[in-house]
């Protein structure tokens, strides 16, 4: 095969230099030859695919959130934060990188997350967080938060990372709101958290159903696990490869398999609810009674389990039928022994995580891709250099007075500036030319109605008029 040196110019032209390639190859060091071949293959492969576009694109499963989507994201986050404030939660911000051992110990070495899905820097033994609960527990223990307040109500919002197959509503970098209450073991708290989640979905405008279950505790789960294993072993050959593997490490996960064949095989599996100890049974009864008191609709799903080892007793999901197989938009439960397992005090806890991408996707499907609120209050259209200079100073004064204002810096025509104002979502346009400067008065156009009102070219007067109009 004849070697070809490929030179790529910034004007996106690809040139081939076979003679130069042969000379370069004969004089190159071994490592340079390796790099040479790698680059040549990359350029040639791109060229043979029918194009020379070598723009760098986002990684598979990693998505940009563009400006037109941010309005919807901010709306969701604003509603969530408002509800959390009403329920007396405090925000905590956590690092993205943590020691790998934190997740191995908390999530469990036999879970899919630790086995296959974590982004880990092997040489440093640090991992990009796949979920937030473990990180929050680490912060709670490290900073002795239980000393300052016996019951802590905490939340965090941010990106998580899992190497899963990207699909609708599931990315490799995804965003979650994580809510945790530490220091209370009673069933009433469980019901309160689920009621809060139900309120969040109601105020966001998403229809969901609440499903609940109990996973028992270290006292009653071992006997149920043995019974479940006996049931699974009788059908093992009819299960998928993942379920066969899970049956040896985490048999409860077999109940959660989404494949139709496996679901059919476990449809008659024993229910953990039927094998709870007295304490767990009383706790689950208390949860259901309190949900009814708060008028929160729910159903019991005996096959609901959690993929993480630290869950005990109450577990729950908010699900929808509008996202295909990925039906859960919020999931959580109780983890009374997790903090102690990580070296902290013996403190009970419960929490849930809500996927923000799925919430935004649901709102888009409902036709709420854009908010109707104007993105800026005022666009200043200056006609000529002198008017543009005045607009520049006036715009800054208006911004200081709380007005969201913008203008054109390219000396475009009035028609072009009006189009720019419309694209910016301006509520009003102030048109200023030489005559307006001479009279120190200019027309303010309402972009929704087309009505124009003459105003003095004073920042205070203009901002007061816009603020009064926005109240009506």
Region of residue 209 (phi > 0: left; psi between -120 and 50: alpha; otherwise: beta): beta
pLDDT, position 467: 87
- pLDDT at position 374, please? 54
Q: How far is CA 430 from the centre of its chain?
A: 39
Q: What is the pLDDT of residue 377?
A: 93
> Taking Cα atoms as reference points, which of 93, 156, 86 lies closest to residue 356?
156
Q: Could you give the 3-state DSSP secondary structure of residue 355?
A: strand
pTM of the predicted structure, to 2 decimals: 0.79
pLDDT for residue 176: 96
- Residue 32 confidence (pLDDT): 63
Which residue ranges of the chain lie beneath pLDDT 70?
1-53, 108-112, 115, 307-309, 324-326, 368-374, 471-472
Burial code (b: 16+ CB inside 10 Å, e: under 16) for 58-77 equals eeebeeeeeeeeebbbebbe
**Positive or negative, the Cα torsion across 194, 170, 116, 58?**
negative
pLDDT value of position 188: 97
Helices of type H across 205-337: 221-233, 241-249, 260-265, 278-293
Tokens of 423: 């694209």
Instruction: Provide the pLDDT for residue 30.
Output: 64
E strand or H helix that includes residue 210 = strand 209-214
Structural domains of the chain in order of their starting residue, each with its CATH number: 5-48 (no CATH), 67-220+276-365 (3.30.930.10), 376-471 (3.40.50.800)
Residues 208, 220 contacting (CB under 8 angstroms): no
Which residue is it, tokens 């929160």? 296
| Matching residue, tokens 């009102």 | 453
Contact (CB, 8 A) for 134 and 150: no
Q: Residue 381's pLDDT is what?
A: 95
Residue 350, phi then psi, degrees to nearest 5: -150, 150
8-state DSSP, 149: -
426-432 vs 328-334, strand pairing mode? unpaired
445: Cβ–Cβ under 8 A, 6 or more apart, which residues? 428, 429, 430, 431, 451, 452
- Rounded to whole angstroms, how far apart are CA atoms 17 and 28? 16
Apex 462 CA angle, 371 and 416, nearest 5 = 60
Instruction: Identify the pLDDT of residue 15.
Output: 46
CB neighbours of 62 closer than 8 A, spacing ≥ 6? 171, 172, 173
Confidence at residue 321, expressed as pLDDT on a 0 to 100 scale: 84
């Amino acid at each position: 095969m004849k070697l070809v040196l490929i030179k790529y110019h910034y004007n996106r032209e690809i040139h081939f230099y076979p003679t130069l390639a042969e000379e370069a190859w004969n004089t190159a060091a071994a490592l340079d030859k390796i790099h040479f071949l790698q680059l040549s293959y990359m350029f040639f492969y791109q060229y043979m695919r029918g194009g020379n576009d070598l723009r760098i694109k986002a990684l598979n499963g990693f998505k940009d959130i563009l400006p037109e989507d941010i309005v919807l994201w901010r709306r969701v986050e604003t509603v969530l934060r408002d509800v959390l404030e009403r329920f007396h939660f405090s925000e905590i911000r956590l690092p993205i990188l943590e020691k790998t051992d934190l997740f191995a110990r908390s999530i469990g070495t036999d879970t899919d997350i630790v086995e296959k899905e974590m982004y880990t820097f092997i040489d440093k033994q640090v991992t990009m967080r796949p979920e937030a609960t473990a990180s929050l527990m680490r912060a709670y223990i490290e900073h002795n938060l239980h000393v300052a307040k016996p019951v802590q109500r905490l939340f965090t919002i941010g990106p998580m990372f899992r190497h899963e197959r990207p699909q609708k509503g599931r990315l490799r970098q995804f965003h979650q709101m994580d809510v945790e209450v530490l220091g209370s073991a009673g069933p009433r708290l469980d019901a309160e958290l689920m009621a809060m989640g139900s309120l969040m979905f109601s105020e966001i405008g998403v229809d969901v159903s609440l499903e609940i279950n109990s996973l028992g505790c270290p006292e009653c789960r071992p006997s149920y696990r043995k019974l479940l294993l006996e049931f699974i072993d009788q059908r093992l050959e009819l299960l998928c490869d993942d379920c066969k593997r899970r049956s040896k490490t985490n048999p409860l996960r077999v109940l959660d398999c989404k494949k139709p064949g496996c679901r059919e095989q476990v449809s008659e599996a024993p229910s953990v609810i039927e094998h709870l100890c007295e304490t767990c049974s009383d706790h689950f009864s208390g949860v259901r009674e309190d949900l009814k008191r708060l008028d929160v609709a729910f159903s019991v799903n005996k096959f609901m389990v959690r993929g993480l080892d630290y869950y005990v007793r109450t577990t729950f999901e908010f699900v929808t039928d509008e996202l295909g197989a990925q039906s859960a938009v919020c999931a959580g439960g109780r983890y009374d022994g997790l903090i102690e397992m990580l070296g902290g005090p013996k403190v009970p806890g419960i929490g849930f995580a809500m996927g923000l991408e799925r919430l935004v996707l649901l709102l888009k499907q409902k036709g709420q891709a854009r908010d109707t609120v104007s993105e800026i209050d005022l666009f200043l259209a200056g006609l000529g250099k002198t008017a543009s200079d005045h607009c520049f100073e006036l715009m800054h004064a208006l911004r200081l007075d709380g007005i969201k204002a913008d203008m054109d810096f390219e000396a475009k025509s009035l028609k072009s500036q009006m189009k720019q104002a419309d694209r910016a979502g301006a509520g009003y346009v102030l048109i200023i030319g030489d005559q307006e400067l001479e009279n120190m008065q200019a027309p303010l156009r309402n972009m929704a109605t087309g009505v124009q009102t003459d105003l003095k070219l004073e920042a205070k007067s203009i901002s007061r008029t816009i603020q009064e109009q926005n109240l009506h």
